[in-house]
Amino acid sequence: MTKAKKKAPFVCFCLEQARLQPRLKGKSIPELVDLCSDDWNGLSKSERDRFAQNKQIGETTSPVESKKGERYDSFGRPLSFLMQKERETKETAKLRRRDILERAGVAHNKKSNFHFMDVTLWVCTNEGKSLPAEIAIIVMNMIEGITQRFVQKIHPGRPPLGYQGDMKKNSDIGHGIWLDHQDELNSDYLAIVNKITDILTPGKDDSPAVQSKLLPIFVAPSDLESIRAGMQWLILAAGQDPSMINIVPYEAHILLWDLLSVAPFKTPESDIPTMNLAKAHLEGITFLNVDEAACDFHKSKDSTNCALLKATRLAFKICEFCCFAYDLDAVEGSHYPSSSTRFSNHFNASKSDYLNFSNGSAAHSTLNCSFSSTNLKKPHL
């Protein structure tokens, strides 16, 4: 009597998820492998053991069977799918690298907007879920500098079981936001997602990010994965499909390197010899205490762990070098903070047309919890 075959534990898990989650219904095994890998990695050993004792394949089960000679990794995932995923990841990375270079090449010819994002987290669970506490987006172009700011604090809903203590610890030593700040926290996740997609929707002269319908966001390289995970949590909490609202993060230090590599001028002030130095520059402490760039909540607490401040610092750091490399008229509050002395001997931009952060009327439009905005005054070129 022929012994019945068994499914690999990971395949059993994928098929179960396809039955339980509406967004996975109708997906093929290769698609399920890609979509369920992170959830599988987050399972404990006891949870995986349940799938290791899988049922035999029979007429009542799915007709999907393993290929002859198929091999699996220690987590029970088919190696062929993992190799295919690795090839696709490398190809996607090449396309995104080319996309950044193309965007840098036209940055000085038109008002091409770059979007910088930062996300602070309530907590990251062992299952890989990252709950965002604050999300900020900065819109900047080379000509005008920063033109728009968006910031939103996120209500986490019911805290994950066993993680409220970690959330409180992260609040105390980090972002300072807590659940009793009800007037600051927004639980309308769908409205937040819709506002973010509005900001990232390409205009008629813009092109979307690779494998997305939205513009890319540029992030600090060390924060890329946490921002990706935080946005995925928010999209799922809004009841949306992350595969349909694909927010693609690009590494900001690559943008800085490419902007300088195609710049028309090479000056000592704009010299960054290697991409690693560009990365170190963006992750350094330059403009750390730019209080006027923080949101009102963190400004009142004298805190630098503010998503809006960190996103603004990314934009300022890129402008710090690119204004010299492109011979731009740098404007205080738009290209650099008022506390900076780096530009004082090189630029004499008029301040009469701009409102300073410090007088309470920022030179940028700020989208806050109510999503209100103000029109900007264009700089003289």
In a domain, 20, yes or no: no
% of the chain with per-residue pLDDT over 90: 34
Whether the CB-CB separation of 107 and 264 falls below 8 Å is answered with no
Q: Which residue has the higher pLDDT, 381 or 201?
A: 201
Mean residue pLDDT across the chain: 79
In a domain, 375, yes or no: no
Q: For the purposes of burial, counting CB atoms within 10 Å of the CB of 262, is it exposed (0-12), middle (13-18) or buried (19 or more)?
A: middle
Q: Which residue has the higher pLDDT, 346 or 219?
A: 219
Write down the pLDDT at residue 314. Answer: 93
In a domain, 83, yes or no: no
CATH number of the domain bearing residue 195: 3.30.420.10
CA–CA separation, 278 and 284 (whole Å)? 10
Q: What is the DSSP-derived secondary structure letter of residue 363?
A: S
Write down the pLDDT at residue 328. Answer: 85
Question: Position of tokens 């659940």?
Answer: 179
Closest CA to 29 of 76, 59, 65: 65
Write down the pLDDT at residue 148. Answer: 94
- Predicted structure pTM score: 0.72
How many Cβ atoms are within 10 Å of 364's Cβ, its own excluded?
24
Question: Position of tokens 């009102």?
Answer: 296
| 147-156 pLDDT per residue, tens | 999 999 999 9
CA–CA separation, 111 and 106 (whole Å)? 9
| 101-134 pLDDT per residue, tens | 899 888 776 678 999 999 999 999 988 889 999 9
Q: Residue 200 corresponds to which amino acid?
A: L
C-alpha distances in Å from residue 26, one per residue of 19, 22, 303, 352 = 9, 9, 48, 60
Domain that holds residue 187: 110-367
Question: Position of tokens 């921002």?
Answer: 227
Domain count, the chain: 1
Closest CA to 259 of 318, 189, 302, 327: 318
Backbone angles phi, psi at 170, to 5 degrees: -65, -35
- Dihedral Cα 271, 275, 276, 282, nearest 10 deg: 70
In a domain, 288, yes or no: yes
Which range has the worst mean pLDDT, 161-175, 193-207, 231-245, 353-367? Answer: 353-367
β-strand partners of 199: none
In a domain, 2, yes or no: no
β-strand partners of 138: 116, 149
Backbone angles phi, psi at 129, to 5 degrees: -90, 130
In a domain, 37, yes or no: no
- pLDDT > 60? residue 38: yes
- pLDDT > 70? residue 178: yes
Q: What mean pLDDT comes out for the span 374-380?
A: 35
Write down the pLDDT at residue 250. Answer: 96
Rg (CA), the chain: 24
Whether the CB-CB separation of 157 and 237 falls below 8 Å is answered with yes
In a domain, 25, yes or no: no
| 274-317 pLDDT per residue, tens | 889 989 988 887 776 676 788 888 888 877 889 999 999 999 99
In a domain, 78, yes or no: no
Q: What mean pLDDT comes out for the span 252-270?
A: 87
CB within 8 Å of 30: residues ≥ 6 apart: 81, 84
CB within 8 Å of 332: residues ≥ 6 apart: 338, 343, 349, 351, 354, 356
